[in-house]
Structure 1
């Protein structure tokens, strides 16, 4: 591609693009790393820009990789390519992470841990960069296996403090993608879109590449047909004439050009090129063995094929461009492709590469084959054991297609759909399920399909059919497997609680559950919820407490809802701590992220904003490392607590648009607006949570509903909500619950004793937000009665607690009240860390303050040690400290 210009150091018409690439390389040379994603259609010049980067990186160690459409099913194949040049430094990586990388590369057995693999790759890269600057070049990243792409993105976001540059080239992807067709796994990288050449640049390129002057009409036709695509411009003359401009894209025309080179080849040479195109490894030993199996004269065929310029046959088989490989493969008839794949399967060692052998066997099949299907099923098991859920899904889907036995075909189809759903491809999973003839299924299989459909629906925005599908599955299982049926009914309840309360959904579900759930063999959580729905909190409270014992190990989200309903703050904290500890010990990203999210909520309620921000930063780091989307619920709670209206509304918009739904979205909106004294907006949000009078497991919204209703003179609504809140807290009997109810009662009644009761009950409560609000409401009540001396005590206490906990909206409310008394007050505390540091800086500062080394901080936050040290320099400057020991006890940490 660098031959686009007569001077190999200059790319025609690419001054801006090559300048940006050069700048990235030079910035890395100076010690500040970075990443860049080049996007554009095939042949547009991305590979030429990668070559330009390599030329600019004199003195760098260069590690290259290229995605292959034939290797997307093999987890970590792309990452292995990237790391081969630096694997000699693997001993510099700490043992747990080194072992994780060895597992990923198949060098040892074990289950891969994506978090440790990402950090191991980062540590390996930074070890290499200590010797000399490092440049990663990745071409055709749209074909990287998803696991490698996620690790690559993890690396890209953590290079700022290291002499490492990462440049990735990818075509717009037809697979799950974000804006502009960027593959979903690469989302968030800085993007440079490579557009077509201008007509003048295209003419210059044609002149540079053609020794004889072109007829002007021919030249202009070539320029028009190529539409600015450099590779198309150079290949069109080989394509055997022009195509009507409206019928062919530039990449299609390029493929035609490549295929034109096949026209005069002997059958043996074409067969060899087809076999080379079908083998993604580029291993000549494998190709020569397969060619012999095909009866080809290897020496003659390879020389003839190489003369076309499509591929070179040296120590590694390389095509001149990925489109050339595709063009050769697509030009072969179906029967020849099957023959080629059969030869490659025969040449592949089943002990060394069993999955590739099985895949070649599958592609060689002209119809169903149970032996191959069984082999693919074994491949799927191996892929799942190595963390390749997406690969397992593809193997199982192909196994189902090759299954002769109808029962095995259904079982494999359901397993493939489950794997696709687990891999984050719900649409593919749903499409597979639609191929299953449910009329021929027995109740158990039918229920299995309904459960899977319900879980897929649960991941989709604006799809509330999940609970109904779970109920349908439960009905099918009620007779044959009553315990499993009860679990499906409980799934329906939990889904309904998470989706929300629109249309009286929870009431409908509970009516069905009460009528149809099989009798339990022993008291369980479903029975406790039924009693709660039918007999109220007083009867259900002991059953709910009993059900909480151990529930968080199986259903932590539901356990947290029940603990909140009981105002059981210690249990909420215990659940969060258990999830974090379990996630760290087991390496489970899901448990760790859920635990960190719950930590944010409990820390926010306790007024520990530093801990909440640090947990948020760590959850985000894990989400990025595993290719997930950061959780929203705790971010909503944190933004509402802090009074960040714009941030909150953006998060709320994401919650309603994104996959899945967020529990108590409207509760957090009501909290936000009450804090900002926008009580009409708070009432509107609380009413949406309270739709259809559905208050099942909804106690946190009641204080917000009562305050907003009182302020908006909706006293009947407030009184009704207060009765409900009072019944609940009296059943639980916790001081925190009783204090919150007393504060709400004081708002409605205006009785001073109720204010005093609230302050006294909440005096030792860990719920700083509610304790401060009780003081604020009492102080407001006193000020309006001109009791200045008395009100100042409570308003100052409220202002201090709100300010220290970062509740900016409520702090402003308290400050306004204080100013009304003539006090001079600042709305913000001086020197609080959360006012000056970013979330990640707070996370680093808290860990360092607790005694962690830079290396330990790097491991926990999935960043490099150099990045930790860079953060510390910034933290010291912002906080005006000079030593790690000075961070202990700093305000806001």
Structure 2
């Protein structure tokens, strides 16, 4: 099926009638001339597709091609024409690694019944006249004598077996005659790979032959790196081999590499630009340390075969043309005038036509561009070190001292320590940082450190480079640079120059206690109050992750002591971190508690000063936090800041989950997880897994919940990250609750509230209050539900978070009492309740169940129908099934079905025992005596049984699973 690409083809249409009858594939018979039968026995000429051939062997099995429908169709059409007695030629051309050899192998294997002659040219033989022809015709050299004497003599001379002078035209005619003799019985296929290395004499000869094939069943396929219209194959039919589409590139990656995440695949596809060889090699290049090393050098990582291929392509050009192409690859901005000035200085300005004819360059009015960064990187990597030094020197001289790249080109020429160039690079890096080019700044500072003379200067510049690398989203490289800086010259200057980077790295690694230690120490070492404020806020985040009240209190105290301009504005931020009124957290009046002010601040605050998304959601700051995150995402994508983008995606996924945008949440969490794993930010990877686990719990995918939770707990328990542990426990409890296992659910959820437990966390206990209360009511622990209602009510009064007020009302309704319906209506009518669809749908479900038990079936149907529709839209399958069962129970008595086994399994073990005895029509006191419990406890259990099974009368138990198991 066509892959949608439109290759650049110029194929001659077949014209005229065939001069011979169609040739059918068949074996040579005994009547064939003896010399022609011998051809069938020659290696590389005919026989099975896996036979050896002259030159470089073709693989024994046909290559597996992806997305090459247009090319293979054109090649197959040539073979079909030859089978019908019509010959033709085709030149396949394109950049190194683009897939020409695979197409040559394809046509070779498709021509199994043909006489096949093949050759792969070599650079070492490119200066030897007729070296290519010798390799191509060697298998049939014994049959030269069957030709006319002058032609046989010309072929012997071309093959080096005679000293007679050769005439290219006579040699060409002789080769054509030989191929036609071979084609008398069977079609002939001639393939030549790496045609750019053919010697000129062979190329002229094949050109003569290829233009005279039409009346004969002979096909010639030539593969070359250069545009045939500008070189030796001018006038021959041609087909440009372009890069693969993204879809085909993904198929190729899946076939050659181990399964990997979507982000890594997209990154490799983007880097390779559709080049199959680049795709194969990028699949084997490490995406962490090695990739970051290439990044800081400002180069795309290139595999060894790509380097060799492009070096060979450059070597085929004249020295001036090579210089021009490498100049364009080395000039950072592709400025045409700068490259032209440098080219004139190198005496290469007359080679522009040759350089452009390669197809590697695209020259505009002001820019010189390569087709794709992989080509630029391969050209640069494939050039020799001496050529690179020459072009960097020429570029430095061609631009002004104020140019942002002048110092860099000087540095690339320097081969020893040079403080003057190091200072220039440091100044250039400062300008790069001002314009937001953090990756360029990291590269410049790293090179400045390499050129520095004194260890203290090296250490300072490495610390600066580490911070720039962190800001660029390269945490692995950032950590290595910081380690080098501390090893060379330890001291407070490292914290000042890196702006407290060590603590930020520890947060990324998921080590909150260690992060807190470094962050608070470095608050005293940095000189900028704004940086100290950022570090203090990150220390708060670390203490919140670890659920350490003592550390949180100390961090708040340290922040309140800072002398920061506009303190009245940022002080409102500190109110967010007080997720409880525990004594350990200072209830100082210096902490702003005016929530409207804090909300306004959230809309404009630097995202790193915002609280974690879970805590922000608890405060009801979903909208302003979402706006802040959405503003950052495009810029981070544009600058390829993978580490920060992973953080933003992880936080966005949490908000999308609560907002009911589950497809967007899954996409953000999945992409964030891939990025976090690439750059080694374990904490963010775990947060993304928790978001995916939350979705799986709501969707009823318990296997995914268990898998994600196990991965998270493996790291969070060991490192004491209670926020991650709490989220994993919450997901586990939700999954059990939604599947109708309240006892199991409560066993997980109650851990969020237990002091000292690894999953205890006040924020998550608050957010999971409704789940805890629902499970507690089902198992008869009304005391736990009442406590969660009080906690929510206190929080709502303090923060004005409407979700908390709504959840408190809903728990009050679940507990029963004289004001149940007003509590349900208050929960549903609370401002913003609909902005959290899962919560709102559950409220409708609870209300509908209560109405049905009160036999208000019409009203119940309306509420339950809306709940079912919301669950269905979200994809919350377990809750949708529950709403559906309740709807069926609201129908006429004859249409209602008895509760099934699945519903009966929702009962606790004691409730099942009570239900079975009640189905036998035993009284409460009889059941109490049988089970040795009080009759009041029996009544309590029966109330739960009726609620869970959706029945109203004791007699209905006879038709349930309990009645059938008597």
TM bin (shorter chain): 0.5 to 0.7
TM-score by length of 1: 0.53
Residue from 872, 880, 885 that aligns with 1:816:
885
Aligned counterpart in structure 2 of residue 801 of structure 1, from 855, 870, 877: 870
The alpha carbon displacement at 1:757 in A equals: 0.6
Q: 1:807 to 1:487 in 2, by over 3 A?
A: same
Q: 1:421 to 1:606 in 2, by over 3 A?
A: closer
Structure 2 match to 1:415: 464
Structure 1 distance, partners of 2:73, 2:774, is 55
Show the 5 A alignment for 1:118-157.
135-136=242-243, 153=266, 156=269
**Matched-pair contact (CA < 8 Å) for 1:741–1:758:** no
Residue 452 of structure 1 and its aligned partner are, at CA, apart by 0.8
Alpha-carbon shift at residue 413 of structure 1 (Å) = 0.9
Other-structure match for 2:6: none
1:665 maps to what in 2? 727
Structure 2: how far apart are the matches of 1:158 and 1:825? 61
Mapped partners of 1:390, 1:406: distance in 2: 24
1:773 and 2:842 aligned: yes
**2:634, 2:240 → 1: CA distance?**
33
Q: Show the counterpart of 2:59.
A: 13
Following the alignment from structure 2 to structure 1, what is the Cα–Cα distance between the partners of residues 880 and 456? 64
2:534 to 474, 481, 487: 487
CA contact (8 A) 1:173 1:183 kept: no
Cα contact 1:18–1:49 (8 A) shared by 2: no
Given that 2:844 and 2:863 are in contact with CA atoms closer than 8 Å, whether structure 1 keeps it comes out as: yes
**Aligned 1:383-402 pairs, distance under 5 A:** 389-402=438-451
Trace 1:704-715 onto structure 2 (pairs within 5 A). 704-712=771-779
Structure 1, residues 157-214: CA drift from partner, whole Å, max 9, x if none?
A: 899xxxx9663524367864399x999999xxxxxxx9xxxxxxxxxxxxxxxxxxxx
- Output aligned runs, 1:403-552, within 5 Å: 403-405=452-454, 408-437=457-486, 443=492, 445-446=494-495, 449=498, 451-461=500-510, 465-476=514-525, 484-497=531-544, 500-501=545-546, 504=547, 506-519=548-561, 522-523=567-568, 524-525=571-572, 527-529=574-576, 533-534=581-582, 542-552=593-603
- SS of the residue corresponding to residue 17 of structure 1 reads coil
SS at match of 2:794: helix
1:581-629 deviation per Cα after TM superposition (whole angstroms, max 9, x unaligned)? 676699878899988887776666565x5xx536766898999999999
The structure-2 alpha-carbon separation of the partners of 1:428 and 1:273, relative to structure 1 and needing over 3 Å to count, comes to farther
| Structure 1 residue 740 corresponds to structure 2 residue 791 | no
SS at match of 2:101: helix
| TM-fit CA distance, 1:553 | 2.5
Q: What TM-score, normalized by structure 2, do the two folds share?
A: 0.50
Alpha-carbon offset, residue 650 of structure 1: 5.6
For residues 512 and 642 of structure 1, the distance between their equivalents in structure 2, rounded to whole angstroms, comes to 41
- 2:63·2:102 contact (CA, 8 Å) conserved in 1? no
What is the deviation of 1:560? 5.0
Helix, strand or coil for the counterpart of 2:99? helix
Q: Structure 2 unaligned runs (5+)?
A: 1-43, 77-94, 108-238, 254-261, 296-302, 332-338, 349-353, 361-376, 898-966
Q: Is the 8 A contact 1:670 1:682 kept in 2?
A: yes
Q: Matches of 2:294 and 2:74 in 1, distance apart?
A: 24
CA deviation after TM superposition for structure 1 residue 392, in Å? 3.7
Structure 1 distance, partners of 2:56, 2:394, is: 43
Q: 1:677 aligns with which of 698, 718, 740?
A: 740
Report the alpha carbon displacement of residue 743 of structure 1 after superposing the two structures with TM: 1.9
Q: How does 1:715-864 map to 2 (within 5 A)?
A: 717-733=784-800, 736-747=803-814, 749-751=815-817, 753-754=819-820, 756-764=822-830, 765-766=833-834, 767-781=836-850, 792=861, 794-819=863-888
Of residues 271, 281, 291, the one that matches 1:171 is: 281
Q: Indicate conservation of the 8 Å contact 2:861/2:887, yes or no.
A: yes
Could you tell me whether the CA contact under 8 Å between 1:537 and 1:727 is conserved in 2?
Answer: no
SS of 2:791's equivalent in the other structure is helix
> What value does the CA root-mean-square deviation take over the aligned residues?
6.4
Structure 1 position 277, deviation (Å): 13
Q: C-alpha offsets along residues 53-104 of structure 1, whole Å, 9 cap, x if unaligned?
A: 576999xxxxxxxxxxxxxxxxxxxxxxxxxxxxxxxxxxxxxxxxxxxxxx
Report the more deviating stretch, 763-772 or 359-368. Answer: 359-368
* Cα separation, partners in 2 of 1:596 and 1:459, compared to 1, 3 Å: closer
Partner residue of 2:618 out of 560, 565, 589: 565
> For the residues of structure 1 that align with 2:612 and 2:813, how far apart are their CA atoms?
31
Separation in 1, partners of 2:586, 2:857: 41
8 A contact 2:657–2:691 mirrored in 1: no
Larger radius of gyration: 2
- How many aligned residue pairs are there? 613
Whether the aligned pair in 2 keeps the contact of 1:742 and 1:758 (CA below 8 Å) is yes
Deviation at 1:417, TM superposition (A): 0.8
Measure the CA separation in 2 of the matches of 1:57 and 1:438: 56
Per-residue CA deviation, residues 358-413 of structure 1 (Å, 9 max, x unaligned), is 55643554542112213433554676688764454233212112113555433321
Q: Contact 2:62/2:105 (CA < 8 Å) preserved in 1?
A: no
Partner secondary structure for residue 881 of structure 2 = helix
> Which fold has the larger relative contact order, with Cα–Cα distance below 8 Å and residues 6 or more apart in sequence?
1
Q: Distance in 2 between matches of 1:11 and 1:712?
A: 75
Contact between 2:618 and 2:801, CA under 8 Å: does it hold in 1?
A: no
Question: Within 2, Cα distance between the matches of 1:653 and 1:772?
Answer: 29
Give the stretch that moved more between structures: 427-436 or 674-683. Answer: 674-683
Is 1:136–1:167's contact at 8 Å kept on the other side of the alignment?
Answer: yes
CA–CA separation in structure 1 for the residues paired with 2:324 and 2:444: 22
CA distance in 1, matches of 2:735, 2:293: 32
Structure 2 CA distance for aligned equivalents of residues 401 and 595 of structure 1: 34
Taking a change above 3 Å as real, the CA distance of residues 713 and 496 of structure 1, as seen in their structure-2 partners, is farther
1:740 Cα offset (Å):
0.9
Q: CA deviation at 1:443?
A: 4.5
Q: Could you say which residue in structure 2 is the equivalent of 1:127?
A: none
Conservation of the 8 A alpha-carbon contact between 2:327 and 2:395 = no
Q: 1:344 to 1:429 in 2, by over 3 A?
A: same
Deviation at 1:695, TM superposition (A): 4.2
TM-fit CA distance, 1:433: 1.1
Q: Is the 8 A contact 2:417 2:453 kept in 1?
A: yes
Question: Matches of 2:378 and 2:844 in 1, distance apart?
Answer: 70
Residues in 2 aligned to 1:397 and 1:761: alpha-carbon distance in whole angstroms: 58
